[in-house]
A = this chain, B = another copy of it.
Amino acid sequence: MQHSHGFHFMSATKLAIVGVGKIVRDQHLPAIAGNPDFELICTASRHGTVDGVASYGTIEAMLEAVPAIDAVSLCMPPQYRYEAAYAALNAGKHVFLEKPPGATLSEVQDLVRLADSKGLSLFASWHSRYAPAVEAAKAFLASTKIDSVHVIWKEDVRHWHPNQAWIWQAGGLGVFDPGINALSIITHILPHALFLTKATLEFPENRDAPIAADLHFSDVTQTPVHAEFDWRQTGKQSWDIVAETAAGRMVLSEGGAKLSINGEEKLSEPEREYPALYERFSEIIKAGRSDVDLAPLTHVADAFLLGRHKFVDSFYD
């Protein structure tokens, strides 16, 4: 006989999505459709809509019109996230923040306080941490001594972010938009907290966000961690984390999907990052708490603070 724990009978969390774009269509909608804990009841977006779901032009109009909403997923560019999160929390809704959780550290800290004061759940989602091989990589690294780590995150911005103006504006993060995924993984799998020791950021002359970054970190055990982010990569794309360890070379590749140790493939599974994110969101709502790790965004802020800013050739889509 199946144990019955009350929550089997809880009705689904009534969810709204704000900012309907590519990531929502590619990832959020399938993940929500596959999770019985959530029911998508409406959206707010300037342009995008979802077939068969009520849509509104602004989050304010939506919150006003649909009091039944329990939670909102905020998927607009980070520069506009605080205002929407503030409105949602003030209206008593749980909030799922796409990555990065905001345009500044202080605004996210402010949202954490607001969520706490209202007894609501705030989720700063880091999807790459839920890539299939990430936990296995973490377990491997915990079992050995790490000599050095090399992160290579090189992709073609024209392919992955065609004509996304906001990503090149101040606060749009530039190459740190993908790079923060790498940072979210290494801050999760490495045994000690990192800190940046040296950085160079390359800004196209005609843009307000970097197209490349070269970052050197250390930790309390002085293990060197070198990360290279570049948006000018054509041909083979790289989202790899390589660790030299006492037990050999670990390669976590394809953005965390694949793990090999000393050339031997240990794990390669289809990714289900967004389904896992919504499982986690449901879990923290049920537990009545928030999940906001600021470490990845702190490293990005540190890179802008400490890094040399270099100008390079203009970039045109």
- What total of chain A residues lie within 8 Å of the partner, measured CB to CB? 34
Interface presence of A307 (CB below 8 A): yes
Interface presence of A120 (CB below 8 A): no
Comparing A98-106, A121-129, A246-254, A273-281, the segment that makes contact with chain B is A98-106
Between A114, A219, A307, A309, the greatest number of chain B beta carbons within 10 A of the residue's beta carbon is seen for A309
Min Cβ gap A213→B in Å is 13
Point out the residue from B195, B301, B305, B309 that lies within 8 Å of A110, measured CB to CB: B195
Min Cβ gap A238→B in Å is 25
In the bound complex, CA of A220 to CA of B199 (Å): 33
Min Cβ gap A299→B in Å is 6
Point out the residue from B106, B114, B199 that lies within 8 Å of A194, measured CB to CB: B106
In the bound complex, CA of A110 to CA of B217 (Å): 12
Check B208 against A104 for contact (C-beta < 8 Å).
no
Check A306 against B220 for contact (C-beta < 8 Å).
no
User: What residues on B are CB-neighbors of A140 within 8 Å?
Assistant: none
Check B195 against A302 for contact (C-beta < 8 Å).
no
Point out the residue from B195, B203, B305 that lies within 8 Å of A171, measured CB to CB: B305
Min Cβ gap A192→B in Å is 8
